[in-house]
Structure 1
Amino acid sequence: MSGAGSEHPTRQQPQPPFPAQDDEHPGYTHRMSPRPDHGEDTYKGSGRLTDRKTVITGGDSGIGRAVSLAFAREGADVLLTYLPEEEDEARETVRLVEDAGRHAVALPGDVREEAQCRRIVGKAVEEFGRIDVLINNAAFQMSQPDGIEAVSTEQFDRVVHTNLYGMFWLCKFALPHIPEGGSIINTTSVQAYKPSPHLLDYAMTKGAIVTFTQGLAGMLVERGIRVNAVAPGPVWTPLIPSTLPDTTQFGAQSPLGRAGQPAEMAPAYVFLASQESSYITAEIVNATGGTPLP
């Protein structure tokens, strides 16, 4: 029997099969069926991040939008980054942040560029004066079922520069502006531990994010800055139909039998950014739908 307000986790969100769908990268929320849940109707804040100044890369849609919404409802101001072609997506996230009564800044550009990473940090400092929480969430993947021979140098460069270079540069440039008690949260993946062959290059970078997170955490202990990561499993975001050839059974392989929704990832980021996790650093919070990880 379910308790009041609770629901069986396998049935709490849409289950596959999903309708067949195809989209071009970077993918768009309004073209997806079912529509991703970012917590618009469900997330309720309780002041856990009051007046925190935050930077969230890839904040226009998917997990980034859900985290932006949750942070705003917890009392944080948000600077979110997005690719120029995602202007409409970013505008909707800005609306959600502002509807929560918080200051939103949307900055277009690509984290593959070192100069853009400097601009992101500079804009955040200009708007907020400091960066309390940096969330490195922007990512790129592209399925290559034909194996390593089919991974072009162009694709490999894009995956590595988006997923690793951007994170490295943003941490490096932001650190002088992160005060004692601040937090860095990176987005890794179940792919870091259980790589799918068709996502070899993407999985490689997600494994590197785990190592980077743990190493940087040790480096920053004396400065009072915590560094952690979240490892999502299969999550229903615009990246999925725009980079995978068949999404009708997406998420069915997880023990819960379905994909996660962005709204189900956001609480992990809120927890890691809040003072409630003050004894937690160098950790990976796994949100995989039941897939056991090390």
Structure 2
Amino acid sequence: MSENDLHRVGTDAARLAGEDGGFPAQEQEPPGLTAAMEPRPDHGEESYRGNGRLAGLRALITGGDSGIGRAVAIAYAREGADVALSYLPDEQADAEDTAAWVERAGRRAVLVPGDIRDEETARTVVRDAVAGLGGLDVLVNNAGAQWARRENGIADVTTEQMDAIVKVNLYALFWITQEALPHLGRGSSIINCASIQAYDPSVSLIDYASTKAAITNITVNLAQELGERGIRVNAVAPGPIWTPLQPATKGADSMPAFGGDTPLGRAGQPSEVAGAFVFLASPEEASYVSAAVLGVTGGKPVF
């Protein structure tokens, strides 16, 4: 990507953000869809240019239909990887859009819908992805759930909400990783999606933030265990990123200021996160990188 291209990507992301760093007031019901968002997120559809860094690799991306997952899928495809997308059946329209972008890059897209809060479904997602791709080299545990429409902090956290969040963010990560490991070999990688919430938690996201802190611990733990097998395990910790998860789980009045408290003064776009996932998946560029957590936070510290 040339200097002019880099300038354009940053300028476009800033243009999409509003005066206070966020976006117009809006709200959806979970799980949220891309088409209803204003403005539409930038997933790198027009800006990401691949360089063959993942040529011939096969990747499973959970939560791959929209947001960060879609941006990663587009980037991986343009870097030469075939991609399987895990998503909820209600997100079929978004998943098909993402698959179309993968196929436009000349790569194979495998759709594996299912609610991964259920153990057998989560494991079946991996089996179907492996069957469709003919193997597996990269696992991206990106799927996440949160709920922030709360006024009284922990007093408003219900067992039902917490159960759903922990199952998506932690249980499914365990089940999917366990099922994927027999298919991963030397040079393969696992990339987990953590969050700035692990380091700078919001009061309304106490349960979500707790799971993201756990994911950073799991990442380091797995890196120690799998290093001798030549499998690298890392994480990306995004800051406030404009994805359907935001209007689908937060109040409409929080959107205009969303991301405005970062040092860069705005929320990020999914396209601005994808490069970190590409780097960590690259068997050449990140061959000696494991147990790392890369922050893409708009300037908020990750340590």
Question: TM-score, structure 2 length as denominator?
Answer: 0.94
**Worse-matched range after superposition: 155-164 or 15-24:** 15-24
Please report how far the alpha carbon of residue 63 of structure 1 lies from its aligned counterpart in structure 2 after TM superposition. 0.2
| Partner of residue 161 from structure 1, selected from 158, 164, 167 | 167
Is 1:172 the equivalent of 2:178? yes
Tell me which residue corresponds to 1:286. Answer: 295
After superposition, the Cα gap between the structure-2 partners of 1:75 and 1:192, relative to the gap in structure 1 and judged at 3 Å, is same
Q: 1:139 & 1:22 partners in 2: Cα distance?
A: 18
* 1:39 counterpart residue number: 44
Shift of 1:121: 1.5
Q: Does 1:231 align with 2:242?
A: no
**Over residues 234-281 of structure 1, what are the superposed CA-to-partner deviations in whole Å (9 max), with x where a residue is unaligned?**
000000011111211111011111000000000000000002000100
Moved over 3 A (4+): 3-12
Asked whether the 8 Å contact 2:113–2:125 carries over to 1, the reply is: no
Offset, 1:15:
2.3
Q: CA deviation at 1:74?
A: 0.5
8 Å CA contact retained: 1:10, 1:256: no
**1:265 equivalent in alignment to 2:276:** no
Give the letter aligned to residue 159 of structure 2: T
Does residue 189 of structure 1 match 2:162?
no
Paired residue type of 1:266: A
User: Which stretch shifts more, 8-17 or 120-129?
Assistant: 8-17
Paired AA for residue 144 in structure 2: A
Deviation at 1:171, TM superposition (A): 0.8
For 2:126 and 2:259, the matched residues in 1 are separated by 35
User: Where does 1:45-64 land on structure 2 (aligned, <5 Å)?
Assistant: 45-64=50-69
Partners of 1:57 and 1:135 within 8 A in 2: yes
How does 1:1-294 map onto structure 2 within 5 Å?
4-7=4-7, 9=10, 12-13=13-14, 14-16=16-18, 17=20, 18-143=23-148, 144-245=150-251, 246-274=254-282, 275-294=284-303
**Which amino acid letter does the alignment assign opposite residue 117 of structure 2?**
R
Following superposition, the deviation at residue 4 of structure 1 comes to 4.3
Aligned-pair distance for 1:6?
A: 4.6
Q: Does the CA-based 8 Å contact 1:111-1:117 persist in structure 2?
A: yes
Superposition deviation, residue 136 in structure 1? 0.3
How far apart are 1:19 and its partner, in Å?
1.4
Inter-partner Cα distance in structure 2 for 1:176 and 1:107: 19
Identity of aligned residues (%): 54
Structure 1 residue 7 displacement after superposition: 3.3
Shift of 1:51: 1.0
Following the alignment from structure 2 to structure 1, what is the Cα–Cα distance between the partners of residues 6 and 187?
34
| In 2, Cα distance between equivalents of 1:253 and 1:102 | 38
CA contact (8 A) 1:133 1:182 kept: yes
The Cα RMSD (Å) is: 1.3
State the SS of the aligned residue for 2:177: helix
Count of residues paired in the alignment? 292
Residues in 2 aligned to 1:164 and 1:170: alpha-carbon distance in whole angstroms: 10
- Rate the CA distance shift 1:177–1:4 in 2: closer, same or farther, 3 A: closer
Gaps of 5+ in 1: none
Structure 2, unaligned stretches of length 5 or more? none
Q: How far apart, CA to CA, are the structure 2 residues paired with 1:154 and 1:25?
A: 15
